[in-house]
Amino acid sequence: MAPPAALQNAKRYTLAALAATLAVAAVVTVASVVLRPARVTFSVARTGFRRTPGGGLRLNLTLAADNRSRHAAVAYRSMFVDVGNSTAAPPQGSWVRATVAAPMPLRQPGRSVVAVAATVDLVGAALAAAFTGNMTASLAVMLTAQARFRVGVAWTRLYDIKVSCGPVSFFPAPPGGGGGGAATLPVYCV
C-alpha cells in the first residue's frame, strides 16, 4: 500500500489534470462559438432588362448580401453569378455567366447589407428569345462565392458559398396576366 503522502499527491495530480482538461474544453468551446461563420443571407433585390443593338438583351440584377452578425465581418474573395433558363432542381437547362460589377475582395462589416450588381448580355435576337422564352420565362440565379469571416482579429478558413434563387423574372407581366411577369422582389436564395 502506498504511503498516505504519495496517495495525496496522486489525488492532487489527478484532480489538477481533470481541471486542466475541463478548462481546455471550455476554451475550445467558447472559441468555436465565437469564431463560427456569420449567417449571411442572399436575395435578388432588383431585376430589369434593356434591349441592345442587334436584337439582344442585357439582363440586370442586384444581389443583396445581408450579414446580420454583430461580431463577424465578411471578406468575399471571389463571387460568380450565373443565370439559367430553368428553375428546376437540380439545376438544368442553359446557364450564362454574369459579369459582376463589384471589385474583389469585397469587404462587408457586421450588421450590414451589401448590394452586388451583375449583368448578363444575350447577344442576338435568336439567343435572347430562346433563352428567355420570348421574355416570358422566369429564370434562376445561382451565386457561388468564396469568403472568410473575421471575428475581432481572428480570420476563419476560406468557406465556399453556393446558393440558388428562383424563380426570378426580369420582365413585366404580359397584358392579360398570363405566365411570366415580375415576381415579388426580393427573391430569397437557399
Same domain, 151 and 73: yes
Task: Please check the confidence at residue 181 and state whether its pLDDT lies above 50.
Answer: no
Number of domains the chain contains: 2
Same domain, 8 and 79: no
Same domain, 66 and 145: yes
Give dist(CA 32, CA 68) in Å, integer: 18
120: domain CATH number?
2.60.40
Q: What is the pLDDT of residues 139-177, one digit of tens each?
A: 999 999 999 999 888 888 999 999 999 899 999 876 655
Q: Looking at residues 36-51, what average pLDDT do you find?
A: 90
Q: Which domain holds residue 16?
A: 1-34
CB atoms within 10 A of CB 41: 15
Q: What is the pLDDT of residue 174?
A: 65
Q: Average pLDDT over the chain, rounded to whole?
A: 87
pLDDT confidence band for 11 (50 / 70 / 90): confident
Give dist(CA 24, CA 22) in Å, integer: 6
Q: What is the pLDDT of residues 83-140, one digit of tens each?
A: 998 766 666 778 999 999 999 999 999 999 999 999 999 999 999 999 998 888 889 9
Q: What is the pLDDT of residue 5?
A: 75
| Cα 109 to chain centroid, rounded | 15
Same domain, 28 and 50: no
Same domain, 73 and 167: yes
Same domain, 22 and 93: no
Same domain, 76 and 26: no
pLDDT confidence band for 179 (50 / 70 / 90): very low
Give dist(CA 25, CA 160) in Å, integer: 28
Task: Show Cβ contacts of residue 48 under 8 Å, excluding neighbours closer than 6 positions.
Answer: 59, 60, 61, 170
Cis before residue 105, ω within 30 degrees of 0? yes
Q: What is the pLDDT of residue 173?
A: 73
With cell 441592345, the residue in question is 52
Q: What count of Cα atoms within 13 Å lies in the side-chain half-sphere of residue 53?
A: 0
Q: Looking at residues 49-76, what average pLDDT do you find?
A: 94
Same domain, 15 and 57: no
Same domain, 5 and 64: no
Q: What count of Cα atoms within 13 Å lies in the side-chain half-sphere of residue 20?
A: 6
Same domain, 166 and 141: yes
Backbone angles phi, psi at 5, to 5 degrees: -65, -40
Same domain, 98 and 125: yes
Same domain, 118 and 167: yes
CA angle 112, 142, 81 (to 5 degrees): 75
